[in-house]
Chain A
Amino acid sequence: MKLKAPESVFSSASFCPGCGHGLAGRLIGEVAEELGIEHKLVTVVDVACCSFHIDYWKFDTIMAAHGRDIPTAVGVKHVRPDSAVMAYMGDGAAYAIGMAETIHAALRNDNICVFVINNSVFGMTGGQMAPTSLPGERTATSPKGKDPARYGTMSGLELVKQMDVAYVARGELIGSSGMVRAKTLIRKAFTHQLNGDGFSLVELLSPCPTNLNLPPVKAKAFVHDEMTKYFPLGEFVDKGGNV
């Protein structure tokens, strides 16, 4: 079988080698085309590494303010209810500066898809500590390792999954089975939106070799072996489904 790149993805050339963003971008492109929504999809991307997608996707795209992707996407969805609308951001945007926005969109069950690329650090700014950094993780602002007595570790997904929303799941952009699984989660999120079920959040654990100071293979191992201890994979809410 010959693999064909989705037509809605131009490139992913600006991401660092081994980064998960390019993989996520491609999966979203594939799913959009398979669901036949590529011509009615509006994407909202966060600043920093996420924002590269604005030049790589053949979708109408808004580059939102840091952490405000979700309300921006909600604004679009209200005006264009027939469009498919997604917000795409990192863990810093979704769970640090934009935590209120994430929680309240879930509380309103706004009918959009949210994709969070969780790589445990702030990427573009050079690998600073995030709410998702693991206890003891060395980052640019926790050079001795994240001190769990001062900074907790959590993903906002844990809060969102307790709410009356359409779909909440976590996958990893690691290995072929991880990729196949991640694609399924993305597809389910969009399907819920198309059914009018409301808010979906899919968190994708993703390697950031540059800021983990690890070669790509070891960065993948960190995601798969270490991050999943704190951020377990799975489907947590699936309205009308079997969760």
Chain B
Amino acid sequence: MAKELMKGNEALAEAAIRAGCRFYSGYPITPQTEILEYLSWRMDEVGGTFVQTESELAGVNMLLGAAAAGARALSSSAGPGFSLKQEGISYLVAADLPAVIIDVMRIGTGLGDIAQGQGDYWQLTRGGGHGDYHTIVIAPASVQENCDLMQTAFTLAEKYRHPVLVASDAAIGQMVEGVELPPMHEHDVDTYDWAVRGCAAGAEPRKVQNTYYTRPDYVEYLRDKYAQMEEQEQRWEAYRAEDADVVLVAYGISSRISKEAVDLARERGFRLGLIRPITLWPFPTKAFAACENAKAFLTVEINILGQMADDVRLAVQHRCPVDFYGVFFDLPEPEDIIAKAEALLGKEGK
């Protein structure tokens, strides 16, 4: 199939359509607004529904209604708007409903700014809303992956009857790359019997509510669900990591710059490698077993506090040092990454 040029955000939108998504509700906020703009006409073409809602709160709760009715449903936001989505994400989890929500990360707390950021890592991976939950979080690193992973997101959402979050960022959202689009899927809203539609004569009415009210095994059910996700859904890419002395850990746009740093360092005889988490939750702890030679790990992140470093510390069980290289309102620089990695290795006395 011929490749075509697409902007990251538009690729997410088109890939959702091709994954059978026929419902979108959301609110404009930079840097994800192209998703709305694209779907405002594209949903018409495929006979789907696009609603620009009065707020992210309305958007995510409309998404919940569409998901409960059996549609493959999508919403998207960024920054402060993504915070407003948390109410609905918690309710989607509580009611066992599949849906996909995209966070095109921008930088900073509060209003922050519209440049690329990776400061939502904790919010995405720790359960950003109230209560006791995780969500599967998928982090594409290219426009092509935007296309490929949207299908994965919907598949996993339905497999677990659970919301799935797609963590993109302003850089990948705005960049234009050649992509091969996936084939078109249609989704039948009657696929699952739990979807509300009206209660047939003599049937038990369907009730979409917190499963805690109805499941005697609620606690075990949730624990098992998350254990199964952790066991089965870890995804990552290892790049020249096996023999590396220092292994970088980076996702999204930071992982691309980290790859450059790995190649550059290797040309100079410094064995640098990279683990790129594709799922941020479940965190790909299994990836670290193969890094047999590693003496230190360095996360590369666009945030101030090195939000992912603790997950790496847990993954390597504190067997060797883990540090982070973080930039704010900027992109990581390969030379700076290498310098920090060398310093880390030096400190370990090789």
* Given A68-B57, A76-B196, A60 contacting B206 (CB threshold 8 A): yes
Do A62 and B68 touch across chains, with their CB atoms under 8 A apart?
yes
* Given A63-B210, A71-B58, A79-B23, A39 contacting B71 (CB threshold 8 A): no
Do B68 and A101 touch across chains, with their CB atoms under 8 A apart?
no
Q: Does A100 contact B (CB under 8 A)?
A: yes
* Given A68-B57, A78-B51, A60 contacting B66 (CB threshold 8 A): no
Q: Does B111 contact A (CB under 8 A)?
A: no
Q: Does B145 contact A (CB under 8 A)?
A: no
- Considering only CB atoms and an 8 Å cut-off, how many residues of chain B contact the other chain? 40
* Given A60-B197, A83-B197, A101-B58, A78 contacting B206 (CB threshold 8 A): no
- In B273-330, the 8 Å CB interface with A consists of none
Residues of A within 8 A of B25 (CB): 71, 75
Q: Does A41 contact B (CB under 8 A)?
A: yes
Do B53 and A76 touch across chains, with their CB atoms under 8 A apart?
no
Do A39 and B205 touch across chains, with their CB atoms under 8 A apart?
no
Do B206 and A75 touch across chains, with their CB atoms under 8 A apart?
no
- Considering only CB atoms and an 8 Å cut-off, how many residues of chain A contact the other chain? 35
Contact pick for A39, options B70, B73, B200, B206, CB 8 Å: B200
Smallest CB-CB separation from A55: which chain B residue?
Answer: B207
* Nearest CB of B to A87, in Å: 9
Do B209 and A63 touch across chains, with their CB atoms under 8 A apart?
yes
* Given A78-B51, A79-B189, A59 contacting B199 (CB threshold 8 A): yes
Contact pick for B23, options A54, A75, A103, CB 8 Å: A75
Residues of A within 8 A of B199 (CB): 38-39, 41, 58-60
Q: Mark B42-64, 1 if CB is under 8 A from A, else 0.
A: 00000001010111011101111
Do A65 and B87 touch across chains, with their CB atoms under 8 A apart?
yes
In the bound assembly, the distance between CA atoms of A148 and B201 in angstroms comes to: 50
Contact pick for A41, options B51, B198, B210, CB 8 Å: B198
* Nearest CB of A to B319, in Å: 44
Do B71 and A79 touch across chains, with their CB atoms under 8 A apart?
yes
In the bound assembly, the distance between CA atoms of A78 and B74 in angstroms comes to: 14
Contact pick for B65, options A51, A57, A75, CB 8 Å: A75
In the bound assembly, the distance between CA atoms of A44 and B209 in angstroms comes to: 10
Do A54 and B209 touch across chains, with their CB atoms under 8 A apart?
yes
In the bound assembly, the distance between CA atoms of A44 and B208 in angstroms comes to: 9
Do B69 and A80 touch across chains, with their CB atoms under 8 A apart?
yes
Residues of B within 8 A of A61 (CB): 196, 205-209
Residues of B within 8 A of A64 (CB): 61, 64-65, 91
In the bound assembly, the distance between CA atoms of A38 and B202 in angstroms comes to: 12
Residues of B within 8 A of A77 (CB): 65
Residues of B within 8 A of A100 (CB): 54-55, 57-58
* Nearest CB of B to A10, in Å: 9
Q: Mark A170-182, 1 if CB is under 8 A from B, else 0.
A: 0000000000000
Contact pick for B205, options A57, A65, A84, CB 8 Å: A57
Residues of B within 8 A of A104 (CB): 53-54, 58
* Nearest CB of A to B36, in Å: 16
In the bound assembly, the distance between CA atoms of A58 and B206 in angstroms comes to: 9
Residues of B within 8 A of A218 (CB): none
Residues of A within 8 A of B207 (CB): 54, 60-63
- In A59-97, the 8 Å CB interface with B consists of 59-65, 68, 71-80, 83-84
Q: Mark A127-153, 1 if CB is under 8 A from B, else 0.
A: 000000000000000000000000000
In the bound assembly, the distance between CA atoms of A65 and B208 in angstroms comes to: 11
* Nearest CB of A to B100, in Å: 14
Q: Does B88 contact A (CB under 8 A)?
A: yes
Contact pick for B66, options A40, A58, A63, A79, CB 8 Å: A79
- In B174-204, the 8 Å CB interface with A consists of 189, 196-201
In the bound assembly, the distance between CA atoms of A84 and B198 in angstroms comes to: 8
* Given A40-B197, A71-B61, A83-B198, A76 contacting B68 (CB threshold 8 A): yes
Q: A62-B207, A75-B25, A104-B54 are in contact. List 9 more A-B contacts (CB 8 A).
A: A40-B198, A41-B199, A61-B196, A62-B196, A62-B208, A71-B61, A76-B66, A77-B65, A79-B69
Ranked nearest first, the 3 interchain pairs of A and B with the lowest CB-CB distance are A75-B65, A40-B198, A68-B61
Residues of chain A having any CB pair with chain B under 8 Å: 38-42, 44, 51, 54, 57-65, 68, 71-80, 83-84, 100-101, 103-104, 108
Residues of chain B having any CB pair with chain A under 8 Å: 22-23, 25, 49, 51, 53-55, 57-59, 61-71, 73, 87-88, 91, 95, 189, 196-201, 205-210
Listed A/B pairs (28) with beta-carbon separation below 8 Å:
A40-B198, A58-B199, A59-B205, A60-B197, A60-B199, A62-B68, A62-B196, A62-B208, A63-B208, A64-B61, A64-B65, A68-B58, A68-B64, A71-B25, A72-B62, A75-B25, A75-B64, A75-B68, A75-B73, A78-B23, A78-B49, A78-B66, A79-B66, A80-B198, A83-B69, A83-B197, A101-B58, A104-B58
